Structure 1
Amino acid sequence: MTAISPAARELPDVNEMYVVHRVFRREFTALPALIRAVAAGDTARGAVVAEHLTLVLDGLHMHHTGEDEVLWPLLQVRAAPSTALVETMQHQHGVVESRTEAIREHEAAWTQDPTPAGGERLAHLVEDLASALFEHLELEEREILPLVTCHIAVDEWRKLFEHGKDTMTPRQLPLMFGAVLEDADPDERARMLGQFPIPIALFLRTVGAWQYRRYIRRVRAA
């Protein structure tokens, strides 16, 4: 498939990617301090922070597997001069996944016994992940999204959203979507909610929004 002039067709809404990336930048920046603030032996608070860490890691994994399954294969074929860039994206996903697995392994032990030393180690692992991830997100926004505009159709782009929606559990959906909408402006909120059937969008605006507010207050409690 050759590139079609963006002026000649409907364009995918690549701004959605910035909105989603905003969540990962915000939460992975905040999580190390939340982890370090857990007092020695406070398993109740440790469980709250660990649950949030798991949610954000699961959201990131879901986001990246969608790109692995939907986006990279299409760009490998259609954006031939940029295949090395796509390969860089795939390599960076591998680095992020490796650091994610290291976090998950250490998180399990820390949740059972939240010591200051264990918390410091976990916080460092999250910071290492954030360093690799933020580099990846910046490159993706700068180099990949222009390729998406040229080479990816709207219905193909929408498959990324469908992958995420279908992968999340019923508990995760309002929490992850609440996180996505937290810093969204009114136009971004309307466009993101507009991708759902009306009953689900109504749920996310009302009950789901309440669930997220209650959840995130507990996570960010001093």
Structure 2
Amino acid sequence: MTNTAMTRTDVRDMYVVHRAFRRELGLLPGLVRAVAPGDTGRAAVLVRHARMLLQGLYLHHTAEDDLLWPKLLERCPPDAGLVHRMEAQHEQVEHLTGLLGPALDRWEVEARPAVAEEVASTLEALRAVLVEHLAEEEREILPLAERHVTQEEWDQLGQHGKGQMSARDLPLLFGSLLEECSPEERTMMLHVVPFPVRLLLRTVFARQYRRYVSEVRGTA
């Protein structure tokens, strides 16, 4: 299945999602290292944020694993090597997030500097792998998806796994996506949600996200 130029799939939302992951993983290591030894309250705030981010990343990659790679392998055989490289990069990300889970558990309880450094350095390693992966995905995969995946199929990626997210985290994750959006991108992202939710995202949830992100970044 190949889209014509007139029906090219709109994949711009993926750039917005990638931008949020790059930003948050870029900020977290410094925030972790700045926590005073023994300050388990502050550590808990950052651990919650990291876990939410990692869960969002897991669901994002699971959607690609389940819904995108099989379609591209079927429809773009000459690019099978590229798709397999994407799968291998996902495995690298999964390995590092697996290391982060226990480290975050220990740091939340102890807030010891040595564990903070373990968390921060693993986050930096994760970001390095992820940044390389996202850049290649944007450069190579998204143009393929525009041509070989229908809009309906693409939209299913954004819905995949939503039921596995905490209800309290979904507005925060969406707020993270909207944080650096241009007006055009904001309109695009809000267009996919029902009107009542869209209204909440512009008002109640927007205020909730501003309070949350101020707490996370220590600017409250």
Q: Shared fold (TM-score greater than 0.5)?
A: yes
Partner of residue 42, structure 1: 39
- 1: CA distance, partners of 2:208 / 2:165: 16
Cα displacement (A) at 1:6: 2.1
- 2: CA distance, partners of 1:30 / 1:206: 26
Which string of whole-angstrom CA distances, capped at 9 and with x for unpartnered residues, describes residues 166-195 of structure 1? 432211111000000000011101110000
- 1: CA distance, partners of 2:195 / 2:161: 18
Pairing 1:4–2:38 present: no
> Which amino acid in 2 is paired with 1:217?
S
Count of residue pairs the alignment pairs up:
219
Pairing 1:160–2:157 present: yes
Gaps of 5+ in 1: none
Cα displacement (A) at 1:161: 1.1
Worse overlay, 159-168 or 122-131: 159-168
Counterpart contact for 2:28–2:123, Cα < 8 Å:
yes
Which string of whole-angstrom CA distances, capped at 9 and with x for unpartnered residues, describes residues 108-160 of structure 1? 01110011111111100000101110000000000000100110000000001
Cα displacement (A) at 1:12: 2.1
TM-score when normalising by structure 2 = 0.97
> Which amino acid in 1 is paired with 2:157?
L
Pairing 1:31–2:21 present: no
Partner of residue 130, structure 1: 127
The equivalences for 1:1-222 within 5 A come to 1=1, 3-7=2-6, 9=7, 11-221=8-218
Structure 1 stretches of 4+ moved >6 Å: none
Worse overlay, 203-212 or 95-104: 203-212
Counterpart contact for 1:6–1:149, Cα < 8 Å:
no
Q: SS at the partner of 2:160? A: helix
Counterpart contact for 2:22–2:131, Cα < 8 Å:
yes
CA RMSD of aligned residues (A): 1.1
Q: SS at the partner of 1:13? A: coil
Counterpart contact for 2:100–2:122, Cα < 8 Å:
yes
Gaps of 5+ in 2: none
Identity among equivalent positions (%) equals 47
Cα displacement (A) at 1:164: 4.7
- 1: CA distance, partners of 2:115 / 2:152: 45
Counterpart contact for 1:75–1:151, Cα < 8 Å:
yes
- 1: CA distance, partners of 2:113 / 2:101: 17
